[in-house]
Amino acid sequence: MVSTDGTAEQYYPGRGLGLPASGVGAAASFGRRLTAFAIDIVLSALVAWLITAPEPPQNMSLLVWALMTVVTVGLFGITPGQAVLGIRVVPIGGGSLVGAWAIPRTVLVFLLIPPLLVNVDGRGLHDRLCRTVVLRTR
């Protein structure tokens, strides 16, 4: 891409959304998002084990993960894993709460494939369908 003054402009994830290239407010990297998801899965498994012990948690860990994700993203825009990694979910077009969009977003993340279908702005299919973006907070 070439700007009006003839210099080359670099494209980076989030540029099409008006986000900065790096730092606070930039699009979160796939690595950060994946690591936050892994932290949330481990935390959910531990909580589920506490509920079902001494029996294995089986599907209880999925239920704990879904409830934790819907509630924390819907009300606060952040899961525990995202808090650890310094990222959060925000709606496109302003506002700070994801609200009810947290439900279909969580269902799509559960399916695993939508988050892997990332566009040039670093947004997975689940984010595009639910009008959200994951940003760095630090």
Structure-token match 């689940």, residue found: 126
Confidence of residue 90 (pLDDT cuts 50, 70, 90): very high
Residue-wise pLDDT tens digits, 118-129: 999 999 999 999
Is there a contact between 45 and 61 (Cβ–Cβ < 8 Å)?
yes
Confidence of residue 4 (pLDDT cuts 50, 70, 90): low
- pTM of the predicted protein model: 0.89
Looking at the DSSP assignment, which residues form a beta bridge with residue 134? 89
- Reply yes or no on whether the pLDDT at 1 is more than 60: no
Q: To the nearest whole percent, how much of the chain has pLDDT over 90? A: 88
pLDDT value at residue 15? 95
> What is the C-alpha to C-alpha distance for residues 71 and 89, in angstroms, rounded to an integer?
13
**Which helix (H) or strand (E) segment is 87 a member of?**
strand 87-91
Is there a contact between 69 and 80 (Cβ–Cβ < 8 Å)?
no
> What is the C-alpha to C-alpha distance for residues 138 and 2, in angstroms, rounded to an integer?
30
